[in-house]
Amino acid sequence: MTVLVVAEHRRGELRDPSFEALTAGRELADATDGELHVGVVGGDVERYAERLNREGVDAVHTVARGEEFNHDVTTQAITQLVEAVEPTVLLAPDTVNGLDFLPAVAERLDLPLVTDVIDIEYDEGLTVTRELYEGKVETTLSIDAPRAAITVRPGSWPQAAGTGDAEIKAFDATVDESAVRSTVTGFQEIGGEVDVAEADVLVAVGRGIESEDNLDIVRELADVLGATLAASRPVIDNGWLPADRQVGQSGKTVSPELYIAVGISGTAQHVSGVRAETFVAINDDPNAPIFDVADYGVVDDLFEVVPALTERLKRS
């Protein structure tokens, strides 16, 4: 089979999930002695093509059109590229922008679509694995169709390395301007006073804390540790802490020496932002996916454990 991966870039750089999708694509192509093709739309496509020519890549198709990602242009270009390359599987990273065009391509070409996939197998047929219910359950799906579209979750495959001997070809997509109905006018960085990415010790609090008033118990823990307070998204959405404290996909990526997650379930969008040397989780649900990434954990009520921990640390 032929696999076509769509690479992603932003502000002049290819993004890491593109190289992970290449690995997923190569594994899938290998299962049938097939070919791995890559498509990249917009920006400095020639420079991108050189970088995308990693080991195992057979062809890179470049579409020079626009600087930044525009979903209308990408949808049209990739739809035409799929018609030309005829891949069995069309892969894109499960990122904000991957999810912003692939469903439209799938709809137009009538391809079955599965998103946020964490494993792909090909053995007489295509099966994919994804999570349900905030990561507490996994499911495998079989896709019985000549062709399919899949987005792959960032962090689930290593990045493709090395250099390949891909053929680099300019693909001449015809863009119907009247169907380009959105225009990217700029970017805005969300900054704040506190940079959680700089902190060595983070106490991160999630929805389990239940109310703003209860934040005092994690504040006290953070104080004795000299830690910075961080949070998962619901705490920010509720306005209990400012936006600069958010850790995760849309917030900050942090790499502290110690990360203590309190009342956080551990969805992919949260844990993708944490690379801690020592990861501690306190959560009363033994099935919470946070325990998949934690080094040390306590399955108990945070309202009991956190004050006890604070008291204990005060004494040491």
Ligand X SMILES: Cc1cc2nc3c(=O)[nH]c(=O)nc-3n(C[C@H](O)[C@H](O)[C@H](O)COP(=O)(O)OP(=O)(O)OC[C@H]3O[C@@H](n4cnc5c(N)ncnc54)[C@H](O)[C@@H]3O)c2cc1C
- Range 218-277, binding other proteins (CB under 8 A): 225-226, 233-234, 236-237, 239, 243-244, 246, 249-253, 257-258, 277
Residue with tokens 């400012």: 242
Which residues, numbered 274-293, are part of the site for ligand X (CB under 6 A)? Answer: 283-285, 288
By CB under 8 A, name the one of 18, 74, 97, 156 that touches other proteins: 97
CB of 301 to other proteins, least distance (A): 8
Q: Which stretch binds ligand X (CB under 6 A): 4-12, 80-88, 217-225, 261-269?
A: 261-269
Residue with tokens 């009342």: 263
Which residues, numbered 107-146, are part of the site for ligand X (CB under 6 A)? Answer: 134
Between 168 and 201, CB nearer to other proteins: 201
Tokens of 41: 């739309």
* Closest among 256, 251, 258, 255 to 234, alpha carbons compared: 251
Q: Which stretch binds other proteins (CB under 8 A): 25-33, 48-56, 176-184, 209-217?
A: 176-184
Determine the Cα–Cα distance for residues 301 and 262; give it in Å rounded to an integer: 10
Does the protein bind other proteins through residue 71 (CB under 8 A)? yes
Q: Which stretch binds other proteins (CB under 8 A): 38-46, 53-61, 141-149, 164-172?
A: 141-149
Opening angle at CA 132, ends 275 and 9, nearest 5: 50
Q: Which stretch binds ligand X (CB under 6 A): 57-65, 182-190, 193-201, 267-275?
A: 267-275
Looking at the chain, how many residues does it have?
Answer: 316
Inter-CA distances, 187 with 43, 68, 184, Å? 16, 11, 8
Determine the Cα–Cα distance for residues 140 and 122; give it in Å rounded to an integer: 12
Between 57 and 268, CB nearer to other proteins: 268
Does the protein bind ligand X through residue 233 (CB under 6 A)? yes
Determine the Cα–Cα distance for residues 235 and 54; give it in Å rounded to an integer: 41
* Closest among 19, 15, 11, 5 to 68, alpha carbons compared: 11
Which residues, numbered 110-129, are part of the site for other proteins (CB under 8 A)? Answer: 112-116, 127
